[in-house]
Amino acid sequence: MIKINSLSKLFHTKSNLISAVDDLSLEIEKGEIFGVIGYSGAGKSTFIRLINRLENPTSGQVVIDGEDITSLSKNKLRLSRQNIGMIFQHFNLLWSRTVRENIAFPLEIAGISKQERMARVDELIGLVGLSGREDAYPSELSGGQKQRVGIARALANDPKVLLCDEATSALDPETTDSILKLLIDINEKLGLTIILITHEMHVIRKICHRVAVMEAGKVVEQGDVLDVFSHPIMPVTKKFVEQVMGDNNQEDSLEWLTTGYKNGDIIKLHFVGETTSQALISQVAKQFDVDINILQGKITQTQKGAYGSLIVHIDGVSDEKESALAYIKSAPVEVEVVHHAN
């Protein structure tokens, strides 16, 4: 659906040349929610603005549904942009217009008749959950309601692609969850392709099917969200996963856990997908004459399934303990012995 080939953007300053996006290539499938994550300065916001040519690339291509956006004239680009909706961190609403008038604005520009405009606006107001607020002004709305207006406005021309530039960064956690649920609902109902830019891994976890990690203008890692969560490779990706899994003090935590156990083994189990629901620990306790204690654990849900880790202490006579460990290792989980006392 979207092919991005060797995309680059250079900014000239008085003293040097800044490479905001550096030879970036991606393919995004039709109907998926694709996340792009990176810290401030990674180039992700520049990247999303290159997709609809709010910024013109220095080199490279953006091809959407077979059309090379980067080669279009201004007039053709204006028409093509009707197929690309965009929502922003700070809403970008027209403060002198009501909810209804804000949503209708792109349809006015497109030359849609008033009767058609009103019918489409009413449909969108219901879709984003703003019924009863049609005549309110932005100053009378909460942050979540303002973003719902922004989403409805972005959907006005029935686009093929929705770009979200830090769309939940200005919202509190509860409101963020409601907006993410709305985006999932829109994706499922309309089959809309969504590209979401964020610096928050929990947003990626809750909504995205695949993710690309950006650093210094480049994509340094990409893949299914569940795969990236369970096997992060690059240091920057590991930091983002730690945001959600709470493992940033893991080394200190493991050191503290191991000091209390002079016997047995402390092992770490990694569960992915369906294996998170298996009663592995209780099965071990029933089948083997060992003592097994859960010391620490966390499971988190992604769009493609669950991922979790569990740290347990296992002790018993040598043969039973080894049999129990062998049984655990035969299960569809990853096993890491983090402390061996005897």
How many domains are there within the chain? 2
Whether residue 140 sits in one domain with residue 105: yes
Whether residue 156 sits in one domain with residue 72: yes
Instruction: Please report, to the nearest 10 degrees, the dihedral formed by the alpha carbons of residues 263, 269, 275, 278 taken in order.
Output: 20
Whether residue 291 sits in one domain with residue 214: no
Whether residue 277 sits in one domain with residue 149: no
Q: pLDDT tens digits, residue range 21-64?
A: 999 999 999 999 999 999 998 999 999 999 999 999 999 999 99
Strand 59-64 versus strand 84-87 pairing type: unpaired
Where residue 256 falls among pLDDT bands split at 50, 70, 90? Answer: low
Strand partners, 307: 272, 300
Query: Is residue 235 left, alpha or beta, with left meaning phi > 0 and alpha meaning psi from -120 to 50?
Result: alpha
* Predicted model pTM: 0.80
CATH code, domain with 199: 3.40.50.300
Whether residue 137 sits in one domain with residue 14: yes
166 phi, psi to nearest 5 deg: 50, 45
pLDDT given for residue 252 in this prediction: 46
Whether residue 204 sits in one domain with residue 110: yes
Range of the domain at 155: 2-244
47 phi, psi to nearest 5 deg: -60, -45
Other Cβ atoms closer than 10 A to 15: 6
